[in-house]
């Protein structure tokens, strides 16, 4: 076939769309063969075209139907399956099928390779997306802590069941700050260069006291040492990022560890909560120190200057050393509570604890014990300051119990339950005589009450009082010189009152006499005893020696050296009293009374003055765990309060005394009073 005929046929086929899909393949195959055999390109194209056209023509002769069954894809495959490096006129060898199968296998392998690459790509994309998402769950920018702001925060101490709302205005540019507690019940206005003010309720009115310059307090922690934590957590129903600072990832030389966490809004980066939990791993690992500050609202910006003085201008502020009012001689610093909760407040915390330990003669055997007691001290101090900011009718103050936990004091002060009537062997029950009573009554100025005593670290409550008490010593891994206290009713106190009524002379009877000598009646000295067993001993032995002959209280038992010739106050029996009216009448007509009370509320431990009316102080017979002496009653704003003498030294309460509300029988003062009958 001539070249012109091939060209004519090719053009015809191309025009009829029969070779459009094969044209490029034909040219590629011819070009490849020409390169391999060094044959002119035109000749290879002609040969290739001749073969293709012949095949087309042959298929055309077999009929259009069969031609239609051959797809363009098959034609393309056949073209590619033809041997490239042989003359196109040479017949196809028997190996052609093998070559075709080999190419198909190679194609399959290519498919697998491509699928593998696609899978790797998908995994890589997923990993990238995951890393991107994790990046979204990791805080990268520390929150901004403003220097000019107003804020509403809530301070919480779960250990003390303490919740304290605080509103803060701070302007560091002006050098001024106002802290308002409990809705403005107490306000502290601090000035860096000018006078500072304390606005507080005193009895039934608001008073303003002034003092010198004071540093501003921080409600936000310094974030220098804080590190970001991965992930998000929900705090106060807000999705938050966390910034963390560990006091020690492992126990330090004081065996104290703790963690500060600052939670910020994951979207806005606004502060949500500041939280600290710490504990001493040597002393049992209990969470003795935990506090939380919730940031309810923060508005950044300058504070109007009148905010810091408008209320001061309406009050007659005086110096805090005004002796006509029962206030501290200088402004106390309860506003430092917030500062000492921050990590940077560590030095201030330890300085305050060192002052406490020095004042009360505390010393400790190890740094572990020191850190533990310091954390308890600050929890108690926070409670005291917070309660005082409520504007109550009574006030609290730190005392020698300040480094003891509530559970420790309850364990140390525990006693057996008192049973009334025949169970305590009383000789009778007081009957109301309906005599006219004065508005107030007090045996102290009349000489019927001896000075306040201190039972110390011996569980000798039964020697001080009528009711049952039982000592449970607190066992610790490390020894502390802190005192172990038990709540006592003053047996000798009531006895002293009756002796005064009989003789008009004041005598201090010896508790040590009972501590040393009443073992045969079932008492166990510092490990506890029973009131009626003490009275049974006095009845059997014809009286009790005074301190002048037997000796004063030694805080531990010794050899009994009772001398009957020195005994006074022969007791024949004792009488039960029940009810507020009976209590008041007996106080006037009989004398000082032995009473049992509930002394477990923390507010009782740290009572410092005023009119005590804590409804948490219970009055049930099984709630009474402390023995004291009622010496009279007084009035305040139309309400009656019992004057009670305690046995925790003059460092406690109002020089060792407390005024307890009779309304609702607070603390159970009128539940089970008693007094002895003298021969």
Known catalytic residues? Answer: 461, 626, 646
Q: What does the radius of gyration of the chain's CA atoms come to, in whole angstroms?
A: 47
Task: Round to whole Å and give the CA distance between 499 and 64.
Answer: 142
Closest CA to 277 of 252, 254, 244: 244
Task: Round to whole Å and give the CA distance between 580 and 568.
Answer: 31
Bridge partner list, 364: 480
DSSP code for 315 = S
DSSP code for 459 = B
Task: Round to whole Å and give the CA distance between 372 and 381.
Answer: 14
Contact yes or no for 197/188 (Cβ under 8 A): yes
User: H helices within 389-506, ranges in order?
Assistant: 406-412, 461-464, 491-503
**Three-state secondary structure call for residue 674:** strand
Q: Mind giving me the DSSP string for 508-563?
A: -B-HHHHHHHGGGGT--TTBEE-HHHHHHHHHHHTSB-BHHHH----SS-------
> What does the buried/exposed string (b/e) look like for 519-543 if buried means 16 or more CB atoms within 10 Å of the residue's CB?
eebebbbbebbbbbbbbbbbbebeb
Strands, E assignment, 326-443: 394-396, 428-429, 441-442
Strands, E assignment, 193-265: 196-202, 205-211, 227-235, 238-246, 256-265
∠ CA 385-387-392, nearest 5°, is: 125
Task: Round to whole Å and give the CA distance between 617 and 603.
Answer: 9
CA distances from 78 to 92, 213, 263 (A): 12, 101, 72
* H or E element in which residue 387 lies: helix 367-388
Closest CA to 148 of 172, 178, 179, 168: 172
* H or E element in which residue 675 lies: strand 674-678
Task: Round to whole Å and give the CA distance between 621 and 618.
Answer: 9
């Amino acid at each position: 076939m001539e070249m012109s005929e091939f060209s004519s046929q090719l053009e015809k086929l191309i025009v009829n769309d029969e070779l459009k899909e094969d044209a490029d393949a034909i040219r590629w195959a011819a070009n490849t063969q020409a390169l391999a055999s060094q044959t002119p390109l035109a000749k290879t194209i002609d040969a290739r075209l001749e073969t293709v056209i012949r095949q087309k023509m042959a298929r055309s002769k077999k009929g259009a139907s069969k031609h239609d069954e051959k797809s363009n894809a098959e034609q393309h495959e056949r073209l590619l399956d033809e041997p490239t490096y042989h003359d196109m006129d040479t017949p196809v060898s028997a190996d052609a099928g093998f070559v075709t199968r080999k190419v198909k296998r190679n194609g399959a392998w290519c498919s697998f390779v491509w699928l593998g690459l696609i899978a790797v790509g998908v995994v890589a994309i997923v990993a990238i997306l995951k890393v991107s998402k994790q990046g979204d769950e990791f805080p990268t920018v520390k929150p901004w802590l403003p220097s000019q702001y107003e804020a509403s925060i809530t301070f919480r101490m779960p250990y003390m069941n303490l919740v304290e709302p605080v509103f803060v205005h701070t302007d560091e540019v002006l050098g001024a700050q106002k802290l308002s507690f409990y809705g403005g019940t107490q306000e502290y206005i601090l000035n860096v260069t000018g006078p500072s003010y304390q606005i507080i309720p005193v009895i039934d009115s608001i008073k303003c006291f002034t003092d010198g310059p004071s540093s501003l307090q921080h409600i936000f922690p310094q974030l220098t040492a804080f590190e970001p934590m991965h992930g998000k957590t929900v705090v106060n129903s807000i999705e938050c990022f966390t910034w963390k600072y560990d006091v020690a990832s492992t126990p330090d030389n004081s065996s104290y560890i703790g963690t500060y966490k600052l939670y910020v809004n994951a979207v806005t980066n606004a502060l949500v909560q500041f939280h600290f939990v710490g504990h001493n791993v040597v002393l049992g690992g209990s969470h003795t120190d935990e506090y939380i500050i919730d940031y309810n609202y923060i508005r950044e910006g300058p504070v109007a200057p009148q905010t810091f003085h408008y209320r001061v201008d309406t009050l007659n502020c005086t110096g805090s050393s005004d002796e006509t009012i029962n206030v501290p001689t200088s402004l106390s610093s309860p506003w430092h509570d917030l500062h000492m909760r921050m990590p940077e407040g560590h030095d201030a915390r330890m300085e305050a604890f060192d002052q406490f330990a020095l004042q009360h003669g505390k010393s400790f055997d190890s740094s572990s014990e020191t850190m533990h007691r310091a954390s308890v001290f600050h929890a108690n101090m926070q409670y005291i300051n917070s309660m005082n900011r409520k504007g109550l009718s009574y006030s609290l103050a730190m005392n020698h119990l300040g480094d003891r936990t509530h559970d420790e004091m309850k364990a140390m002060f525990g006693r057996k339950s008192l049973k009334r009537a025949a169970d305590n062997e009383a000789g009778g029950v007081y009957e109301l005589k309906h005599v006219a009573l004065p508005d107030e009554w007090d045996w102290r100025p009349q000489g019927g009450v001896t000075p306040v005593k201190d039972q110390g670290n011996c569980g000798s409550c039964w020697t001080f009082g009528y009711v049952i008490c039982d000592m449970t010593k607190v066992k610790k891994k490390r020894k502390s010189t802190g005192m172990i206290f038990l709540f006592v009713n003053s047996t000798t106190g009531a006895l002293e009152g009756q002796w005064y009524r009989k003789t008009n002379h004041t005598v201090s009877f010896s508790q040590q006499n009972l501590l040393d000598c009443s073992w045969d009646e079932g008492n166990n000295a510092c490990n506890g005893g029973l009131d009626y067993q003490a009275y049974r001993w006095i009845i059997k032995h014809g009286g009790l020696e005074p301190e002048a002959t037997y000796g004063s209280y030694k805080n531990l038992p010794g050899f009994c050296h009772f001398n009957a010739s020195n005994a006074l106050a022969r007791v024949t029996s004792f009488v039960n009293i029940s009810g507020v009216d009976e209590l008041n009448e007996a106080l006037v007509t009989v004398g000082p009374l032995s009473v049992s009370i509930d002394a477990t509320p923390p507010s009782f431990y740290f009572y410092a003055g005023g009119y005590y009316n804590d409804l948490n102080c219970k009055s049930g017979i099984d709630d009474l765990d402390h023995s004291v002496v009622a010496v009279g009653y007084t009035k305040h704003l139309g309400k009656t309060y019992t004057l009670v003498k305690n046995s925790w030294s003059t460092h406690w309460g109002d020089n060792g005394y407390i005024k307890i509300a009779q309304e609702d029988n607070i603390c159970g003062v009128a539940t089970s009073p008693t007094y002895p009958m003298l021969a």
